[in-house]
Structure 1
Amino acid sequence: MLPPSQTSEKRVLWMDPRFQARRPTTQSLYQSLPDLLEKGWQVELWCLEHDTVDERVKVVTLPQARWLRLLEPLWFWALAWAKLTWKRACGESWDIVHTSGPDIPGADVMSLHFHNRTWIRLQWQENARTWKERLKVFHTLIGVTQESLALGSRRWRVILPVSEGLANRIRSSLPANKIVRVLPNLLDGQRFSPAVRERWREAGRATMQVSETDYVLSFVSTGHYQRKGLWAAVEALHAIRSQVHADCGLNLQFWVIGVSEHTVPSLRRRLDEIAPTWAEWVRLLPPTDEVERWYAAADAFLFPSRYETFSLVALEASACGLPILVTPYDGHEMYLQDGVNGCLLPWEIKAMSERLLQFFIHERFQMKPGPTASLSPADYAAVLDDSYRDLLESKKP
């Protein structure tokens, strides 16, 4: 491993279509950037758009193609590959090339946030209801192809999966020369902590007119509601609301946070189908840059997703002091201890309802909320620094 002093002139190129502070695939890189710069790395960023970054970072913005919609990332990776190939042909080089997805030939390090081969199997089990859902299946098929080529290639040296569960899915199919190092999403401890409940809980519940007998479960997503488990959550709660009220005196409320205005009509139609009384206890709330305020006002976090690789929102909710009620998707093992800071729910609706009922009747007062572990920006930057230096050492003849 190279000592830190020898990395002072080392250059790293980061590639991601949208380098943004609140975007799950880049949030951790964004927040750890100052710490990585302090370790002596010169960072160059290629993207389509970005939030404000440190002035020491060289930013190259490639042309956008918004008309491609879901396929715009493919446009970015094609441009990035062509540009990287041209730059290298002209003699320019970087010590490390790091991408946030398995999409660019010639890179050294890949942050892996999803596993398309797992997700496509789940998609085939569902009936695509609209042309948009069919397009998403096609989009996943493209991802499967890219993923298979990238994970099977010998070009990649270091893969940074976001959870142990995801790492276990890919290890058996990787060539022997791959280095796999789990690097979870980091937690913004200044935004997400038990202090937010003390600061905003009373005001938030007053604003939402929540009574003492109301028990609020929050759910956060800006889309992908089928995969994220929204309908499963509504069905399970609908099945037990009356019994919870009779046995515990609680009036269950369910807040769906992150609903854009244009999706409200379709969500309402679907809710009418599965829970006719939903308007009495489900609230569709808009996207917000201060989701921690909603965590503060809630009593628990319910997220029965069919597939995740980490779920940052569950980690954030746990850090704010909420018991987390989640399914066994990849990544839950990074922050959930079943029966201690939350509950592990089965995917099957009837079994999920029974497990939730047990939580409300017997366990809700026994929980000790808070994640089992989390990374700070400095921790995240340290893992990146170690990974980069290990890779440079392995490149030596």
Structure 2
Amino acid sequence: MAGQGASALRAANTAVVVEELRQGGPTTRAALARRTGLAKQTVSTIVARLQADGVVREVGLSRTEPGGGRPAVLIEYAADRALVASIELGVGRTRVMVADALGEPLGIHDVPLGGRPRRQLPEEVLDAVWATLVDATSDHGGLQRLRALGVSVTGLVQPATGTCVLAPNLGWRDVPVASLLRERLASLEVDVPVVVRGAAQASLIAEHREGAAQDVDDVVLLFEDEGVGAAIIEAGRLLDGSDGTAGELGHCAWPGADARCGCGRRGCVETLASGPAVRRVVERSTGKRLPRRPGVSTYAVLADRREPEVLAAAAEAGRVLGTAASWLTALTAPRLVVLSGSLVLAPEPLRASLAEVLRARALEDEPEVVPGRLGDIAALRGVLLLALDGARRQTAV
């Protein structure tokens, strides 16, 4: 037991030193001891071990130590020694992000699919993703440097198993995303954490840590990627529900609606408030087919149009989405509602109508409605941050 306690203490002290180097930049051993409260000898021992493992490195001399004396050797966290990556499995686009061990992006790469993902089998999509991931990491030391992988899926995901239970707009059901990617990694003898999340949850994690919802502990995020979703943070904690699929606002029933949804049910909010739903309304009312642009969301296409039919349909979709969102805000009383995914690009009447309904339905203090700051990389960024968390729990990355 004593040995286990000493080992746990060493691990805890190492984590403190590594985190200080990550956050604080180049510094000296003496300064590390002061900032962490650890003994100088303890810090020197930890730094020597980390240096041998390539986690830290010496980078020159300081000007002077406080109080005078000879310049001391500076050490820094070697962020380029390891990689983390994330994958976005979306409806309009599929992408890969690669970052260093501090989470600083090294590049974002589109996955060439030659068509919409829902027209391809999951294995075919993942084969293309894998090829892009291999290529994207090749300029940074290859997949052998990978320490964690995050995956965002536009659909319902069980985080515990990494399975996409249902992604109606991709045409996927019960796809073991994490297992399929682990098999490919294992072929290169790479064994790293693989984190899989729904796109709405991933986007909220990113906006909460780095975007529009920083320092706000009660938030609802509304998400659109040719379908509608939501995610909730309450008291600073992401609400997962019993299986990780909490927040599926798009598949709540809308009174009186009867259109068939991609999930197989009828009358879902998504059949009235998604980009494709608005496009169908406009095409029926005008008798004209609206343009499709590969890799561009329906709402982004509609945002450039000023026909009365488009503006009216967008405003009605905003009313529906705002009313549905008010169900969540009444239950959770958030300070902030963040619009993410394609909603950031949606026609102005939709966003205005949505905000107006939320104001009208507020019982007490109305939540502020804001666009996400991270734009179309929020989901990619969110799962990358989660992957980085997983890597740091396992090793001194």
Q: Same fold (TM over 0.5)?
A: no
Point out the structure with the larger strand share.
2
TM-score class normalised by the smaller sequence: 0.3 to 0.5
Q: Who wins on radius of gyration, i.e. which is larger? A: 2
